[in-house]
Amino acid sequence: MGAWGTGLYSGDFALDMRSTIRAVARLPYGGDRLLELLCDSEPAAATRPDDPDHTVFWLVVADQFAKRSIDSPRARDMALSIIDQDRDLATFASLGMPPKDLERRRRVLDEIRARLLCPVEPGKPRPTIKQPQPYLFEVGDCHAYPTSDGNPINPYFASLDRIPSWRQDGWGVMVVVERGRAFDFLAWYRYVTVDAPLGAKPAAPPMAPTQRWLLRQPGTVTSLHIKRLQLDLLGSLRIDPERLWTVFPRLLPGTVQAANDISVVGDMEIGPRILPAKIAPPGEAHDRRWRAKLWSFLGLETILAQ
């Protein structure tokens, strides 16, 4: 559990859940199926009463469903049971919430309870995605892209001359190593990049065994962003999933990034924008500090099919 307060959406987990529900609500499913997807995305919080986020999970789901006129008796009954049995208050008391704040939390829960007891009224048909988002990258695609002081082009600007202080002085390279669809609909991509800009655009994927590569966070992409990033396909490589997962264990799918539509561009910056202290040396992927650093490895051959 991250930061929390007396309001239902005061905590980090509750805010993340609200964003996830906003994305899930776009899917063309009924309430029961949407609830299944949410439980699959947060299995510990959904199924383990001893998890500190358990009560928040069910309260947020039920509250958001009620506000969106999504009918799910299971979510509603779970939330009402949590409120009536004071389980949410007991959780926050065990975490050290002061009595005055617990009383404020109780008033918040009373408001939620009243809202949940109101019959679900049919609202306007919610806009939904009709088909799964098409994949725009293939696994193994290797792209070069222009950089300025380690920054890629910001695709949220319509043209380069509108980007403050952007002047190309190098080239980055990225390789798509994994892709998937969150909730079977929302496409995401995982990729690696070179650690520092190249002086000239390569004609083919850089295969030097001494080239250091950085594992980046998953993200989403659009056709417009691909065009504005000026990605240049250098070739396609055969990524070996087993070798990738051996080098980088505990890889989580890009569900959060897909649900919140976090673009790949947010993690495409390279040196000198990335301080050396933020990069774990190759071979230290199992270091206990791995979450605070970028994982790295030497040579693309490390993750390619033999």
Residue spans per domain, the chain: 12-117, 141-303
Q: Are 69 and 121 in contact (CB under 8 A)?
A: yes
For the chain, list the strands marked E by DSSP.
Answer: 141-148, 151-152, 170-182, 186-194, 212-215, 232-236, 296-298
Question: Which pLDDT tens digit goes with each residue over 23-81?
Answer: 899 999 999 999 999 999 899 999 999 999 999 999 999 999 999 999 999 999 999 99
- Mean predicted confidence (pLDDT) in 275-300: 76
Q: Are 206 and 298 in contact (CB under 8 A)?
A: no
pLDDT at 4: 61
- In whole angstroms, what is the distance from residue 285 CA to residue 1 CA? 25
pLDDT at 5: 79
pLDDT at 210: 96
Question: Which pLDDT tens digit goes with each residue over 116-147?
Answer: 998 877 767 788 888 999 999 999 999 999 99
- In whole angstroms, what is the distance from residue 223 CA to residue 220 CA? 11
Q: Across-strand partners of 191?
A: 176
Question: Which of the 8 DSSP states describes residue 26?
Answer: T
User: In terms of Cα–Cα distance, which of 264, 259, 263, 265 is closest to 185?
Assistant: 259
- In whole angstroms, what is the distance from residue 174 CA to residue 41 CA? 28
How far, in whole angstroms, is CA 86 from its chain's centroid?
32
CA atoms within 13 A on the CB side of 125: 5
How far, in whole angstroms, is CA 216 from its chain's centroid?
12
Question: Which pLDDT tens digit goes with each residue over 149-169?
Answer: 999 999 999 999 999 999 999
pTM assigned to the model: 0.80
Question: Which pLDDT tens digit goes with each residue over 246-256?
Answer: 999 888 899 88
User: In terms of Cα–Cα distance, which of 45, 58, 33, 54 is closest to 113?
Assistant: 58
- In whole angstroms, what is the distance from residue 74 CA to residue 72 CA? 5
Angle at 253 between CA 250 and CA 256, to 5 degrees: 120
Q: Over 50: is that where the pLDDT of 267 sits?
A: yes
Beta strands at 212-215 and 170-182: parallel, antiparallel or unpaired: unpaired
- In whole angstroms, what is the distance from residue 40 CA to residue 258 CA? 15
Q: Kindly tell me the sign of the dihedral angle through the C-alpha atoms of 142, 143, 148, 154.
A: negative
Question: Which of the 8 DSSP states describes residue 304?
Answer: B
Q: Over 70: is that where the pLDDT of 193 sits?
A: yes
- Mean predicted confidence (pLDDT) in 239-264: 92
The residue with greater pLDDT, 106 or 121, is 106
Q: Over 60: is that where the pLDDT of 298 sits?
A: yes
